[in-house]
Amino acid sequence: MAMTTIKGPAIFLAQYAGDNPPFNSFDSICAWAAKLGFKGVQVPSWDGRLFDLKKAAESKGYCDDVKAVAAKHGIQITELSTHLQGQLVAVHPAYDAAFDGFADPKVRGNPKARQEWAVDQLMLAAKASKNLGLTEHVTFSGALAWPYFYPWPQRPAGLVETAFDELAKRWKPILDAFDDVGVNVCYEVHPGEDLHDGVTFEMFLERLKNHPRCNILYDPSHFVLQALDYLAYIDIYHERIKMFHVKDAELNPNGRTGVYGGYQSWIDRAGRFRSLGDGQVDFRAIFSKFAQYGFQGWAVLEWECCIKDAEEGAREGAIFIRDHIIRVTEKAFDDFAAGGADLEANRRMLGIR
């Protein structure tokens, strides 16, 4: 496996888009990102202030124009995101009200219509990704079993299996559509989703018969909050990891609260998202593993911090990612000591006559 220098730094725009400049248009937000040193932007497909998903699916000309706007600032579009729409592909009724706001107003209050709208959004995203010349796409899986993740009362036999059967059934046509256009679907493995760790991803993948487009967006912050070994995760799943959110976190359990957070606000939880460098994630080890395994994607900052200002987090984050990217070596460190041996010389060294 050839080592690869990771691309970046890039930034996910979802947490920065807003009604005030420079965050209210694609042109101005790209100019802002470029000034901070970012080379790429990950685009939230649901935010009409920045991007028109339907137009992008229907018009390569529109996509060429959007890419030209980014290129004017030395920026590339790294991927499109359908986090909010993907969430709506599978919603347990307990979350109907909470997630209704993610949908088009015309389908709110109608779970069946809302799900159909979400699937259509993913189909548009497949076409838009192709028109933009992208190879990866990020989304959420949604969740049917999440309300039952802690087994009390004990889950009935077959409940989880039924949920994952249905989840795979809903996603299979979407994955096929992305396969038709040569784009990987990368699920952000995340608490609140049925795909929230390694085992749940495997359960999903097995039901999809190892679908080639079913892949992972790796975000170590979500594993810190679960007390999961986020470095071993790369060793296990690197062949399926096609995207990377660079986000920091910390877990400081105490005598009053732990992983579950005690229903507290972010600032008072044991597990908290932090700006890059302020948490506990060993990014040097992560970047080393990605270099080792030949990860060919982007290092994308996702800013979520309960303490630091967002713009400060972006400014520091661009520098942090830049300084962690490993330019991989093209030769072995001990090449200088090579003896230039050939097959016959090797045989003589081994005493083979």
CATH number of the domain within which 94 lies: 3.20.20.150
pLDDT tens, residue by residue, 207-224? 999 999 999 999 999 999
- Above 90 in pLDDT, residue 22? yes
d(CA 86, CA 75): 26
d(CA 230, CA 343): 43
Q: Taking the model in full, what pTM does it have? A: 0.94
- Above 80 in pLDDT, residue 332? no
| Residues 51 and 45 sit within 8 Å (Cβ to Cβ) | yes
H helices within the chain, ranges in order?
A: 26-36, 53-58, 60-72, 83-87, 96-99, 111-132, 159-180, 198-207, 220-224, 230-237, 283-292, 310-324, 343-349
Q: What is the pLDDT of residue 339?
A: 67
Among 266, 250, 338, CA closest to 306: 266
Q: Considering the domain boundaries, does residue 185 fall inside one?
A: yes
Q: Considering the domain boundaries, does residue 172 fall inside one?
A: yes
Average pLDDT over every residue of 300-328: 97
Q: Considering the domain boundaries, does residue 188 fall inside one?
A: yes
| Residues 234 and 286 sit within 8 Å (Cβ to Cβ) | yes
Which domain does 91 fall in, by range? 7-349
Residue 15 — very low, low, confident or very high, per pLDDT cuts 50/70/90? very high
Q: DSSP labels for 48-79?
A: TTT--HHHHHH-HHHHHHHHHHHHHTT-EEEE
Residue 338 — very low, low, confident or very high, per pLDDT cuts 50/70/90? low
Which pair of structure tokens corresponds to residue 149?
Answer: 């993740």
Among 234, 232, 308, 233, CA closest to 276: 308
Average pLDDT over every residue of 90-115: 97
Of the listed ranges 2-6, 29-33, 134-138, the one predicted with least confidence: 2-6
Q: What is the pLDDT of residue 344?
A: 87
Cβ-Cβ contacts under 8 Å for 302 (sequence gap 6 or more):
12, 14, 15, 219, 245, 246, 247
User: Helix or strand or coil: residue 332?
Assistant: coil
Residue reference for tokens 């706007």: 69
Q: Considering the domain boundaries, does residue 1 fall inside one?
A: no
Number of structural domains found in the chain:
1
Q: How many helices (H) and strands (E) does the chain have?
A: 13, 10
Residue 216: Cβ-neighbour burial (10 angstroms; 0-12, 13-18, 19+):
buried
Q: Considering the domain boundaries, does residue 11 fall inside one?
A: yes
Q: Considering the domain boundaries, does residue 71 fall inside one?
A: yes
- Above 90 in pLDDT, residue 165? yes
Q: Considering the domain boundaries, does residue 2 fall inside one?
A: no
Residue 317 — very low, low, confident or very high, per pLDDT cuts 50/70/90? very high
Q: Considering the domain boundaries, does residue 238 fall inside one?
A: yes
